[in-house]
Amino acid sequence: MPSSMPSFAELLGKCERSAVHLELRDSYAPTDRFEAWRRGERIDWEDHASWWHPYDQLIADSVTRGVVIRRARVVSEPVTDYIRWEHYVTRGNITAGEQVRWLSRRRSTDIPLPGNDFWLFDDRLLRVHHFSGDGQVVEDEITQEPRTIRLCSTAFEAVWERAVPHHLFHV
């Protein structure tokens, strides 16, 4: 990633009203936390310090200053192990202050979706994630191109409206 690319923390730090994240993949590159979960290890949710990470604090701080953070995931069913794990760890996202919804891919056929995951900040700045086939981040792209922002904003809102809140989505 070029050094001129602002970090996620910088982008969220400049955000004033809203940050939305659309996820469209059924799996991403495995992490140590995912592999531990696959081995049967579980998070002790009561031991906040054991799982609370800088990302969670960044989200919590942003929500405290009035930024609404929403995440929508479009997933195939039956879900992959990776999505099962994401569903499990989403408790952390929600504790930090994110609102999270899930939409079965089968219910998204008539929604024009972009080809990539993205974050949209204040409906004005888009950070697009480009992944390899095996889920590794290849690069991120920043754009303020109005037509692209409109497509992504419209897609996110259509997914959000149809999606199921996290606590009602069972994997």
Please say if the pLDDT value at position 50 is more than 90: yes
Q: What is the pLDDT of residue 3?
A: 54
Please say if the pLDDT value at position 49 is more than 60: yes
Please say if the pLDDT value at position 2 is more than 50: no
Q: What is the pLDDT of residue 4?
A: 80
Asked whether the whole model's pTM tops 0.85, one would answer: yes
Indicate the SS3 state at residue 127. strand
Q: What is the mean pLDDT of residues 19-40?
A: 97
**Chain-wide mean pLDDT for the chain?**
96
Instruction: Domain 8-168: give its CATH architecture.
Output: 2-Layer Sandwich (3.30)
Please say if the pLDDT value at position 103 is more than 50: yes
Largest CA distance in the chain: 45
* Percent above pLDDT 90 for the chain: 97
Those residues whose C-beta lies under 8 Å from the C-beta of residue 83, and which sit 6 or more positions away, are 26, 27, 73, 75, 171
Question: Are 86 and 26 a contacting pair, CB within 8 Å?
Answer: no
CA distance 127 to 144: 9
Amino acid at 52: W
CA distance 79 to 81: 7
Please say if the pLDDT value at position 1 is more than 80: no
CA distance 74 to 109: 11
Question: Are 80 and 127 a contacting pair, CB within 8 Å?
Answer: no
Give me the sign of the Cα torsion angle 82, 83, 88, 94. positive
Distance set, CA 101 to CA 14, 31, 74, 110, 156 (Å): 24, 22, 9, 18, 11
Please say if the pLDDT value at position 72 is more than 50: yes
Delimit the domains of the chain by residue range.
8-168
Q: What is the mean pLDDT of residues 40-62?
A: 97
Q: Which has the closest alpha carbon to 101: 83, 77, 74, 121? A: 74
Phi, psi dihedral angles at 37 (to 5 degrees): -60, -40
Question: Are 42 and 93 a contacting pair, CB within 8 Å?
Answer: no
